[in-house]
């Protein structure tokens, strides 16, 4: 296997530039890392290198790029900024979040076992059950809030623990530090080939809120479609790792399988990431306002939002997240039909799938994101018919509150 530098080349920084970047804060890195002015023209904003190939001066004489499946400067630029924000050493950019999850799963072979969090993105559930299981991987789904559930599900053949936190749509958290400690302990009696890796879907948090690699997680994935991109205008994904061997393997596989995002989509993601911190702070603030209003509302029977002090996992939120996102779900005092009317009655909150954009969205998991899950199973998971999920955007928060007020009134 060749070194990964053959697959993703970054403009080499000199020592003083490297030191500078190391000292920069999150916002500065979001805007500048990987995005030095274009050396050819001085363009301040990193160009979209819409090219498949690169003219070489001679055999073995190129500028670090030969073919865009192997490496493209715009893809490298966004990979570099994401690497920096997640405190990794390498990132690979995929055409969607689920493509990134799929790439992680392809690192394993028939017979390998995965322990996965049960409260899981619906598309990951489908990928694991319908695509990876027939190929010979096996999965156990457990409530990852309880460490012993993970421990009890691990077998000799387990190679991966797969986590999400906060989860969708119930915003449950898992204790990253405790799970890493458990897996480290289990790995003590395993040799290099049977070691258990930890994969973590950090989509709901983004690196501004939570950096799983810092806690010792091996592989982070993102749907950049959500908070990272932040404007609901691109479908894109990423894998970020710290370990050099994993980095080499992932880069090799990406080139070998051609599972990658095009330069324009990479550029859109890069533009979104520049404002990640300021957007996330506003999502956090507005979410608290909305959550507190909902918590006191007589028509709200339950609310799932760990940033609230009343939430049973609030202490864990404080421990592993720097801020909260804009996501919450609540149970409305009404039947299936009433709740369906409620989610259609808002005017600023738009009825739509997805999340994490600047605009506020509202949805009904039982008939939207989780419609494919049989009702019985849905209820077991805690996804009741009267559950409403909202993604709080960054519009004027008072307008958001008034919008919910009028929607509540219209069905009460």
Ligand X SMILES: *Cc1c(COP(=O)(O)O)cnc(C)c1O
Strands 113-117 and 138-142: parallel
Q: List 201's β-bridge partners, or say none.
A: 164, 221
- List the structure tokens of 24: 């920069």
Task: List active site positions.
Answer: 69, 121, 201, 226
Identify the residue among 121, 139, 227, 332 touching ligand X (CB under 6 A). Answer: 121
Question: CA of 244: how far to CAs of 13, 90, 215, in Å?
Answer: 19, 8, 17
Report d(CA 344, CA 353) in Å as an integer.
13
Identify the residue among 8, 70, 103, 223 touching ligand X (CB under 6 A). Answer: 223
Q: Are 198 and 165 in contact (CB under 8 A)?
A: no
Whichever of 205 and 407 has its CB closer to ligand X, that residue is 205
* Residue 121 Cβ vs ligand X, minimum distance, rounded to whole Å: 4
Point out which span in 73-81, 94-102, 244-252, 343-351 binds ligand X (CB under 6 A): 94-102
Strand, coil or helix: 309:
coil
Identify the residue among 71, 73, 88, 97 touching ligand X (CB under 6 A). Answer: 97
User: With binding defined as CB under 6 A, does residue 201 bind ligand X?
Assistant: yes
- The count of chain residues that interact with ligand X, using the rule CB under 6 A, is 16
DSSP sequence for 314-354 = HHHHHHH-SS--SEEEEEESS-HHHHHHHHHS-SSSEE-S-
* Residue 370 Cβ vs ligand X, minimum distance, rounded to whole Å: 13
Identify the residue among 123, 216, 262, 382 touching ligand X (CB under 6 A). Answer: 123
User: With binding defined as CB under 6 A, does residue 225 bind ligand X?
Assistant: yes
Number of residue whose CB is nearest ligand X: 97
Would you give the binding string for ligand X spanning residues 297-316, x where CB under 6 A is met? --------------------
Whichever of 179 and 355 has its CB closer to ligand X, that residue is 355
Identify the residue among 113, 159, 211, 226 touching ligand X (CB under 6 A). Answer: 226
User: With binding defined as CB under 6 A, does residue 235 bind ligand X?
Assistant: yes
Report d(CA 370, CA 373) in Å as an integer.
5
Identify the residue among 80, 86, 119, 164 touching ligand X (CB under 6 A). Answer: 164
* Residue 224 Cβ vs ligand X, minimum distance, rounded to whole Å: 7
Name the residue among 309, 313, 317, 371 with its Cα closest to residue 340: 371
User: With binding defined as CB under 6 A, does residue 206 bind ligand X?
Assistant: no
Report d(CA 34, CA 22) in Å as an integer.
13
Report d(CA 188, CA 204) in Å as an integer.
31
User: 397-411 and 276-296 helices cross at what angle (nearest 10)?
Assistant: 40
H or E element: which one contains 222? strand 219-223
How many CB atoms sit inside 10 A of residue 202's CB?
25
Whichever of 97 and 263 has its CB closer to ligand X, that residue is 97
Whichever of 104 and 250 has its CB closer to ligand X, that residue is 104
Whichever of 137 and 355 has its CB closer to ligand X, that residue is 355
Question: CA of 97: how far to CAs of 93, 105, 203, 250, in Å?
Answer: 9, 13, 9, 15
Largest CA distance in the chain: 74
Whichever of 321 and 345 has its CB closer to ligand X, that residue is 321
Chain residues binding ligand X by CB under 6 A are: 96-98, 121, 123-124, 164, 168, 201, 203-204, 223, 225-226, 235, 237
């Amino acid at each position: 296997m060749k070194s990964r530098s053959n697959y993703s080349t970054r403009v080499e920084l000199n020592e003083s530039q490297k030191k500078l970047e190391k000292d920069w804060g999150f916002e500065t890195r979001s805007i500048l890392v990987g995005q030095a002015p274009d050396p050819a023209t001085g363009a301040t904003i990193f160009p979209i290198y819409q090219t498949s190939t690169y003219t070489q001066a001679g055999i073995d004489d190129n500028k670090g790029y030969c073919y865009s499946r192997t490496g493209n400067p715009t893809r490298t630029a966004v990979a570099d900024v994401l690497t920096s924000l997640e405190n990794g050493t390498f990132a690979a950019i995929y055409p969607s979040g689920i493509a990134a999850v799929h790439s992680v799963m392809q690192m394993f072979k028939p017979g390998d076992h995965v322990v996965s969090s049960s409260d899981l993105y619906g598309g990951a559930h489908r990928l694991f059950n319908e695509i990876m299981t027939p190929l010979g991987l096996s999965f156990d789904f457990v409530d990852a809030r309880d460490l012993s559930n993970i421990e009890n599900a691990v077998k000799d053949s387990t190679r991966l623990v797969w986590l999400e936190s906060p989860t969708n749509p119930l915003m449950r958290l898992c204790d990253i530090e405790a799970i890493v400690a458990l897996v480290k302990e289990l790995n003590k009696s395993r040799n290099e080939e049977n070691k258990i890796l930890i994969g973590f879907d950090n989509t709901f948090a983004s690196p501004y809120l939570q950096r799983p690699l810092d806690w010792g997680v091996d592989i982070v994935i993102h749907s950049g479609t959500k908070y990272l991109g932040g404007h609901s205008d691109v479908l894109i994904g990423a894998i970020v790792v710290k370990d050099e061997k994993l980095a080499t393997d992932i880069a090799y596989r990406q080139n070998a399988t051609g599972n990658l995002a095009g330069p324009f989509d990479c550029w859109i993601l890069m533009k979104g990431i520049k404002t990640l911190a300021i957007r996330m702070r506003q999502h956090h603030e507005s979410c608290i306002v909305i959550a507190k209003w909902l918590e006191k509302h007589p028509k709200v029977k339950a609310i799932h939002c760990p940033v609230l002090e009343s939430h049973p996992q609030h202490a864990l939120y404080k421990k592993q997240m720097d801020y909260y996102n804009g996501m919450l779900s609540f149970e409305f005092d009404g039947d299936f039909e009433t709740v369906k009317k409620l989610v259609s009655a808002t005017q600023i909150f738009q009825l739509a799938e997805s999340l994490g954009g600047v605009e506020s969205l509202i949805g009904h998991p039982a008939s939207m994101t989780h419609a494919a899950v049989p009702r019985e199973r849905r209820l077991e998971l805690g996804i009741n018919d009267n559950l409403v999920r909202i993604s709080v955007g960054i519009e004027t928060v008072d307008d958001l509150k008034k919008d919910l007020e009028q929607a509540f009134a219209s069905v009460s």
